[in-house]
């Protein structure tokens, strides 16, 4: 990583009180040959030893969204959450516990009722997601209605748990776990669903202060601990070949929140050794694993490291993120195809041809969660280069305006289009992570350490830091306009550092003004500019973020290229010919093979600015001099049209 530009720095220090620290070093990685003995060969023993975080995100209660892209997405999602009745979310739980269901109608899709023609064995999972989303809506927006509905659901889940004996709680019977235990007639991921319910209850406790939720989740943890503890290690490792979501993560979180190591020891039983051993040895053996089955296991490894200091778990998370983000990630920041890693590392052009079902949205949701953990260890801004790319291009663009419906796959097959869930007949895994994603868009904009604030995302928002009497308002139309402005309000002058992330996609250090005066100090792309001074009411920092066109080629096919403007992935708008509401709403992904179209190819120079010209409004471009020219706009703004992100360019 390059250091700070110190041109004229002494003069700036004298004039403005600005100081700078060296940029964070790259994340620590082990060097030398991989270990000869698999790191997780021995039994895992838990000892509590918390690893201090280098930086921490500000609580969502201290950050408020202002009008902009993120606020729009949050509003659409909030509307969808509000429209889902508690009685329908509880239907299968009540039915499974033998309690009256009243006049409520069950949902369809992955929440179909037990005696329905299309019943699924994941029923109940979305209610867990819903609780997490509701808790986050309360934390991020003070949504009292969301909290009240979720409190009602928690109370009824407690009633169902008591009817079932006081520990086990789900929307399906324990017979699924009998089948899992026997390893015959394998069920569809019962522990995956148990995790979602436990995580939702845990969020209701930690974010919404619901004490009953803690009692219910501890009862579930006790049941899960006894069930898993009754198995031999060999048998449990075989059981872990069936998807189990983030069971270890929620148990580690519960252990940390309650100071009860019992739950962490139960979490250790959900460590799938045949998956984590290669990662801890720095080997990519991800092909052909199901992607979103395994990313939550890595998040759990990151959490285990944080509460134990066991470096084996650190190495699992560190290597996995590095490998997936550099060798198995498309230009949008998304990963997977057909829900799996189908090809060898850096063979993305080959993998793209294998299926139209690229970039499952759950994978992006979970990779962003993982990135937050690793960033907290190091404060390395390059994690937020990744985070920004995935958030802007994959997540912001995967929610349907007004309806709040979300996607399963963000297909990158040329000629694809976006497809969305239905109102009440889908409830895919990505519907669940979708309602969570857009209820917590305040959780990563601002971070802190003992010295001050890190501004990591350029999103219109307000930060309140009551302990310091410090408030920060960020006004920006980024990325529509390449700049942001930060205005300070304080109870009394306060000395602290404000660190501005300087994105790696910038061509050079940005122009920064403090109270209208240009600073002669700047910082290289991929680092921070640190402004350490005594802040007064009305102090204002303005930063230009000049964006430029650039090309990102596939690692295994340099002629297959994507076009970006700053961090934004541009897509060619190929029109809506042949698309119907039935093709857009309901299917998990686009049926491109059934409705093929001819996608243009380009003959062009290496410099995209020579053949791609600005349009009549910001973020609109058009190719020139091609056999068929194409309008290019941000992928996150395309809805209801076919598009292409990757182009054959010669």
Report whether pLDDT(114) > 90: no
Query: Would you place residue 11 in the very low, low, confident or very high pLDDT band (cuts 50, 70, 90)?
Result: very low
- pLDDT tens for 72-92 read 999 999 999 999 999 999 999
Cα 443-446-449 angle, rounded to 5 deg: 115
Question: Phi/psi at 293 (nearest 5 deg)?
Answer: -70, -30
Give the bridge partners for 500, in sequence order: 455, 529
- pLDDT tens for 353-410 read 999 999 999 999 999 999 999 999 999 999 999 999 999 999 999 999 999 999 999 9
Q: Which residue in the block uniquely carries the two structure tokens 């179209």?
A: 597
Report whether pLDDT(36) > 80: no
Rounded to 10 deg, the angle between the 247-258 and 190-208 helix axes is: 30
- pLDDT tens for 236-260 read 999 999 999 999 999 999 999 999 9
The string of DSSP codes covering 408-445 is: SB---STTB---B--SSS---HHHHHHHHHTT-TTSSS
Report whether pLDDT(471) > 80: yes
> Mean pLDDT across the stretch 305-331?
97
* Closest to 93 measured CA to CA, from 133, 135, 128: 128
> Mean pLDDT across the stretch 30-41?
74
- pLDDT tens for 278-300 read 999 999 999 999 999 999 999 99
- pLDDT tens for 156-211 read 999 999 999 999 999 999 999 999 999 999 999 999 999 999 999 999 999 999 99
- pLDDT tens for 412-429 read 999 999 999 999 999 999
Report whether pLDDT(15) > 50: no
d(C-alpha 294, C-alpha 628), whole Å: 42
What's residue 272's pLDDT?
Answer: 98
Assigned token pair, 303 = 């959490």
d(C-alpha 128, C-alpha 198), whole Å: 7
The rounded percent of the chain whose pLDDT value lies above 90 is: 91
What's residue 119's pLDDT?
Answer: 66
Ramachandran region of residue 462, left (φ > 0), alpha (ψ -120 to 50) or beta?
A: beta
Report the first-to-last Cα separation within the chain, whole angstroms: 33
Q: What is the mean pLDDT of the chain?
A: 94
What's residue 31's pLDDT?
Answer: 56
| Cis amide bond preceding 608, omega within 30 | no
d(C-alpha 44, C-alpha 588), whole Å: 39
d(C-alpha 376, C-alpha 346), whole Å: 27
What's residue 43's pLDDT?
Answer: 83
Query: Would you place residue 264 in the very low, low, confident or very high pLDDT band (cuts 50, 70, 90)?
Result: very high
- pLDDT tens for 521-545 read 889 999 999 999 999 999 999 999 9
Report whether pLDDT(2) > 50: no
Strand ordering across the sheet containing 512-514? 63-65, 461-465, 470-475, 483-490, 540-544, 512-514, 517-518
Query: Would you place residue 34 in the very low, low, confident or very high pLDDT band (cuts 50, 70, 90)?
Result: low
Report whether pLDDT(18) > 70: no
Give the pTM.
Answer: 0.94
The rounded percent of the chain whose pLDDT value lies above 70 is: 94
478 and 499 Cβ atoms separated by less than 8 Å: no
> Mean pLDDT across the stretch 499-518?
95
Strand ordering across the sheet containing 56-57? 56-57, 446-448, 452-455, 494-502, 527-535
Query: Would you place residue 35 in the very low, low, confident or very high pLDDT band (cuts 50, 70, 90)?
Result: low
Query: Would you place residue 3 in the very low, low, confident or very high pLDDT band (cuts 50, 70, 90)?
Result: very low
474 and 75 Cβ atoms separated by less than 8 Å: no
254 and 215 Cβ atoms separated by less than 8 Å: no
Length of the chain: 650
Q: Where is average pLDDT lowest: 50-59, 174-183, 350-359, 505-514?
A: 505-514
194 and 127 Cβ atoms separated by less than 8 Å: no
d(C-alpha 575, C-alpha 354), whole Å: 24
């Amino acid at each position: 990583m390059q250091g700070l530009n110190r041109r004229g720095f002494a003069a700036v220090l004298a004039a403005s009180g600005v100081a700078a620290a060296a940029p964070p070093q790259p994340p620590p990685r082990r060097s030398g040959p991989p270990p000869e003995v698999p790191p997780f060969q021995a039994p895992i023993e838990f000892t509590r030893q918390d690893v201090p975080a280098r930086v921490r995100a500000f609580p969502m209660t201290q950050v408020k969204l202002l009008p902009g892209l993120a606020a729009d997405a949050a509003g659409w999602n909030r509307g969808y959450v509000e429209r889902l009745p508690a009685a329908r979310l509880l239907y299968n739980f009540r039915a499974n516990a033998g309690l009256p269901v009243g006049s409520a109608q069950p949902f369809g899709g992955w929440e179909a009722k037990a005696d329905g023609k299309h019943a699924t064995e994941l029923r109940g999972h979305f209610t867990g997601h819903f609780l997490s989303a509701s808790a986050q809506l309360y934390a991020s927006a003070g949504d009292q209605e969301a909290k009240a509905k979720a409190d009602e659901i928690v109370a009824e889940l407690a009633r169902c748990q008591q009817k079932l004996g006081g520990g086990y709680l789900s929307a399906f019977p324990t017979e699924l776990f009998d089948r899992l235990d026997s390893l015959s007639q394998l069920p569809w991921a019962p522990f995956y669903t148990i995790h979602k319910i436990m995580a939702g209850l845990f969020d209701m406790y930690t974010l919404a202060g619901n004490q009953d939720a803690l009692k219910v989740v501890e009862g579930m943890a006790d049941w899960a601990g006894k069930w898993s503890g009754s198995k031999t290690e060999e048998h449990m490792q075989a059981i872990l070949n069936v998807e189990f979501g983030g069971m270890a993560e929620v148990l580690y979180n519960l252990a940390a929140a309650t100071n009860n190591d019992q739950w962490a020891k139960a979490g250790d039983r959900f460590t799938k050794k045949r998956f984590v051993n290669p990662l801890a040895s720095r080997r990519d053996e991800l092909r052909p694993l199901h992607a979103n089955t395994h990313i939550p296991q890595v998040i759990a490894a990151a959490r285990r490291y944080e509460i134990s200091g066991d470096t084996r778990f650190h190495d699992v998370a560190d290597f996995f993120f590095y490998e997936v983000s550099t060798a198995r990630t498309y230009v949008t920041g998304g990963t997977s195809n057909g829900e799996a890693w189908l090809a060898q590392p850096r063979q993305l052009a080959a993998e793209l041809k294998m299926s139209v079902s690229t970039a499952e949205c759950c994978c992006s949701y979970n990779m962003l969660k993982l990135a937050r953990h690793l960033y907290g260890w190091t404060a390395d801004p390059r994690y937020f280069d990744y985070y920004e790319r995935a958030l802007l291009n994959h997540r912001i663009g995967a929610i349907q305006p007004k309806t709040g419906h979300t996607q399963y796959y963000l297909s990158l097959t040329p000629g694809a289009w976006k497809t969305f869930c239905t109102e009440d007949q889908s409830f895919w895994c990505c519907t669940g992570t979708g309602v969570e994603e857009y209820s917590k868009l305040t959780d990563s904009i601002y971070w802190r350490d003992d010295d001050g604030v890190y501004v990591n995302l350029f999103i219109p928002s307000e930060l309140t830091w009551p302990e310091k009497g410090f408030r920060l308002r960020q006004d920006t139309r980024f990325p529509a306009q390449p700049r942001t402005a930060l205005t300070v309000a304080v109870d009394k002058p306060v000395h602290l550092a404000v660190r501005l992330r300087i994105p790696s996609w910038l061509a050079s250090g940005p122009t920064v003004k403090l109270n209208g005066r240009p600073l002669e100090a700047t910082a290289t792309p991929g680092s921070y500019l640190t402004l350490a001074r005594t802040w007064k009411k009305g102090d204002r920092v303005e930063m230009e973020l000049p964006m430029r066109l650039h090309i990102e080629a596939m690692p295994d096919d340099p002629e297959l290229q994507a076009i970006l403007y700053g961090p934004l992935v541009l897509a060619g708008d190929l029109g809506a010919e042949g698309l119907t509401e039935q093709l857009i709403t309901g299917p998990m992904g686009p049926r491109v093979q059934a409705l093929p179209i001819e996608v243009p190819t380009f003959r062009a120079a290496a410099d995209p600015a020579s053949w791609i010209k600005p349009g009549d409004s910001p973020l609109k471009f058009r190719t020139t001099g091609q056999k068929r020219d194409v309008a290019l706009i941000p992928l996150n703004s395309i809805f209801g049209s076919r598009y292409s992100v990757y182009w054959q360019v010669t």
